[in-house]
Structures are given as structure tokens and as C-alpha cells.
Structure 1
Amino acid sequence: MSFYETARHFADSYGLIFLAGVFVLLCAWVFRPGSRRHYDDAAMLPFEDDKDGE
């Protein structure tokens, strides 16, 4: 079995399961309780220089 066939088999089975798990974990991390304040603060970073009233 060549390397290509081995890599293809991994990507078709375990790779898909792994990437689906990573996607679910990242979604859970973003929507976890208590993260709203952090993302609201990050969303306002581009406007911090505008606080001088210009």
C-alpha cells in the first residue's frame, strides 16, 4: 500500500472524525458561558482611538 493510499484512507475515515470534533470544540469554546464580555471588548478595539471626541 502506497503512502497516498494510506493517507487517503486516514483522511476518509479518522481525519473526518477528527476535524468534526475540532469544529464542535471550537464552536463550544466560542459560545461558552461568560465569553460575551470578552468578544464585546474585542469588537470595540478598532474604536478605542475615537474616544477623544474627534
Structure 2
Amino acid sequence: MPRTDNRYERARIIGARALQVAYGAPVLIDTEQTEPILIAAEEYDRDVLPFTVRRGYDR
């Protein structure tokens, strides 16, 4: 099932993941990228990130 995150959720997920990568977290994909933000965006696009978005109306 494809992700249905809005642009704000997408930005938050990629930003949080880029921070993790910048601090030395292992990269989840094989990539030629070296910038944490680009690595995080590619991981997001490949749908390999284990992030869950909890919205106010999902409770």
C-alpha cells in the first residue's frame, strides 16, 4: 500500500531520518548519495523507513 503522507508529514519524516543518518545511524539502502537529506529522501521514496504517522483522528 503506498504511503499517503501529506507534505508536512513527509518533510518531518525525511528530516528526522536525515538527522539520524547524520549522527551515524546505518543506511537502510544501497545508494551513491553522501548527503544525509538525500539518503533519507531516497529511503522514503523506496518505502523502507519504519516510521508511523499518528494523526489526531486515528486514535
Structure with more of its chain in helix, by fraction: 1
On whether the aligned pair clears a TM of 0.5, the verdict is: no
TM-score (norm 1): 0.34
TM-score (norm 2): 0.32
Q: Which fold has the larger relative contact order, with Cα–Cα distance below 8 Å and residues 6 or more apart in sequence? A: 2
**Larger Rg, first or second structure (1 or 2):** 1
